[in-house]
A and B are shown apart, each in its own frame.
Chain A
Amino acid sequence: MLNSARGRTEQTSSSAPSYRRRPHSWRRAIRRQLLPFLLLLPALVLVGLVLGYPIGQVVATSFQQLGVFQLLSHQTVWNGLSNYTALFSSSQFLDVLEQTLLFVVATVGLTLLIGTGVALLMGRLGKFLRTVVSVAMLLAWAMPNTAASIVWTWLFETEYGVVNYMLVTLGLQGFNNHDWFASSLSAYGVITAMIVWQAVPFVALTLYAALTMVPRELFEAAAVDGASPWTIFRRVSFPIVRPIFVLLTVLSIIWDSNVFNQVWFLTSGRAEVINVVPLGVWQYIEAFSSQQYGLGAAVAVITVLLLLIVTGYYIRIMVRTGEVRA
């Protein structure tokens, strides 16, 4: 920390106006060194203590055998890589990975597709309809996900749910008393729909706002040159909003990979029974229901490593394009 503080002042003083380099102002110089460090200190302490230390604990725990007995007796039993080998040799783990992959591809793909579509649509609407669309999206977005999940269980309720009622009214008799949470696939369908419903507003509103910053002349010039709307999107709009698009993609992948609340509330805690176990939920089940905290920790470590592999490429793009810039 001290090193970086020193490096920073050197650079600051070289770029600073000369009046700051008066002699005998070393007191000030020290203060200038200290200030940014002090500003960062609370954040560093908090993140270090409340996130950093637990994360370290999780990594350590993943190499331990930690059950209720060890937890209560404060024993540390190191068992090397056996949590990891146990995971990779269990058939459920591969199933969980496959579920998570499909689930994340579906939610992120649909969210970005619909979000981009709505952002482009908003640009083609009049002021009134555009406001209606944004307010509708704000309402969906603002719903706390715990409350939203309870509302969606009510929508898809077997006997009195309005979705079944409407489908039956439309002539689909098969949906009379249909249990949406009876099979893994259909439960995933409802969960995906709900997550996309709440995730689209963030993507659409952000992209729309970004698109409005694209200079109008660019579109007009392209239109005069006879470019089709698709070409205009591909060659003009998209390249300009690409940094934001990449950021939204990375954030969506990270958020959707660790979804917990929605799955837990929508399945009313029966996630494992109907085999709806994306990584975030499986991690919780392994740790708490099975009370094998070591195994749960190993799942968490693997999740982060997988996410790093998937998003690493984009993070590098973000660093290179100057998106990660202080």
Chain B
Amino acid sequence: MTATVVGSRTARQRRLTWLWRAVALVFVVFTLFPVYWMVNSSFEPNGQITSLTPSFFPVHFTFHNFVDATERPYFLVDLRNSMIVVLSTVVLVLIVAFLAATAVTRFRLRGAKAFLVLVLVVQMVPTTALVIPLFLILEKAKLLNSFQGLILTYVALTLPFTIWVLRGFVRGVPVDLEEAALVDGCTRVGAFRRILLPLVLPGLISTGVFSFITAWNDFLYADVIMQQQGHWTLPVWLFGFETNTLTDYGGLMASCTLFALPVVVFFLIVQRRLVSGLTAGAIKG
């Protein structure tokens, strides 16, 4: 009697396991397809792309689209611009946000709660609405068309969310550790540098990825602030490419692949830390 019950239960479980596997595969196919299609199209010659029966593998494999994309005017210049702006943004935002997160969590601040709610509310302001006032401010400060102006903008835009998430990580590190270091004769700064900093590294990585993506992605501010072509960043270049050459989907997909590549590589390298980091931030909220 019991044996059959157990037997039927395991049979049902086995069937369920296969069901879950099938569902997972369907999900993976849907999730991967757009990415796959981008890469597939980027390796196909244009004649093949604009044929009425698309091929699901790059049969007529070619690097032509990539060569074509990178040899277009300003691609390399704008890539360099993007790199300068994004990397400076990430470094600056991490320093400022880490200091702020420490201030909010490690010291009993009366206004801390209000500050954090404010940080969440700032997120609600549509970024499109801030374009004009920011433009006017940067114009007054003579920072239009400069890397500094764009970097400052990105730092400020990503700062609220970065502080919000980092605070969770900083709080996750037991204060006792720092106090022990203080008792052992460490200075406050020393405890901060030797105890807190290494322990919140995963948090710094995941928030770093977040600000990297926000800045790397931004089209609107770069478009408004950088008015000379030599100062453009890649998204602006990409939009110009999309609107100027409507039919060159091969070149367009190759540029999208190149544009997405750094982020994807970055993501895959830090993926484990990223996910564990996100929960650490979320759990301790």
Contacts and interface: CB of A to CB of B under 8 A. Distances in A.
Q: Do A and B come from one complex?
A: yes
Q: How large is the interface on A (under 10, 10 to 19, 20 to 34, 35 or more residues)?
A: 35 or more
Contacts of A231: none
Contacts of A15: 108
A112 to B, nearest CB: 14
A150 B250 CA distance: 12
Given A138-B271, A139-B264, A154-B37, A125 B137 contact: no
Query: Which one of A11, A42, A165 has the greatest number of beta carbons of chain B within 10 Å?
Result: A42
Contact of A4 (B16, B34, B111, B156): B111
Contact of B239 (A146, A210, A303, A304): A146
A32 B282 CA distance: 30
Contact of A324 (B34, B111, B117, B159): B117
B52 A160 contact: yes
Q: Is the interface of A mostly helix, strand, loop or mixed?
A: helix
Contact of A43 (B159, B264, B279): B159
A287 interface: yes
B159 A125 contact: no
B102 interface: yes
B105 interface: yes
Interface in A13-56: 15, 17, 32, 35-37, 39-40, 42-44, 46-47, 49-51, 53-55
Given A42-B99, A133-B28, A4 B109 contact: yes
Contacts of A55: 122, 125, 130, 133
Contact of A150 (B17, B20, B100, B238): B238
B242 to A, nearest CB: 6
Interface in B23-61: 23-25, 27-28, 30-32, 34-35, 37-38, 41, 49-54
Interface in A132-175: 132-148, 150-152, 154-155, 157, 159-160, 162, 165
A144 B259 contact: yes
Contacts, number: 310
Q: Is the interface of B mostly helix, strand, loop or mixed?
A: helix
B126 A303 contact: yes
A209 B25 CA distance: 20
B194 interface: no
Contacts of A213: 279, 283
A162 B129 CA distance: 36
A139 B32 contact: yes
Given A8-B108, A43-B96, A154 B41 contact: yes
Contact of A315 (B27, B120, B217, B256): B120
A51 B37 contact: no
Contacts of A57: 133, 136
B169 interface: no
Contacts of B129: 58, 283, 287, 296-297, 299-300, 303
Nearest to A114: B27
Interface stretch (A84-92, A101-109, A243-251): A243-251
Interface in A249-274: 250-251, 254, 257-258, 260-261, 264-265, 268-269
Nearest to B155: A46
Contacts of A197: 30-31, 34
Interface in B111-147: 111-113, 116-117, 120-134, 136-137
Contact of A209 (B38, B41, B276): B276
5 contacts: A46-B156, A124-B17, A129-B25, A247-B285, A250-B120
Interface of B: 16-17, 20-21, 23-25, 27-28, 30-32, 34-35, 37-38, 41, 49-54, 95-97, 99-100, 102-113, 116-117, 120-134, 136-137, 152-153, 155-157, 159-160, 163, 167, 171, 179, 183, 188, 213, 216-217, 219-220, 235, 238-239, 242-243, 249, 252-253, 256, 259-260, 263-264, 266-268, 271, 275-276, 278-279, 282-283, 285
Q: Which 6 A-B pairs have the closest CB atoms?
A: A300-B129, A50-B156, A326-B112, A209-B279, A54-B133, A43-B100
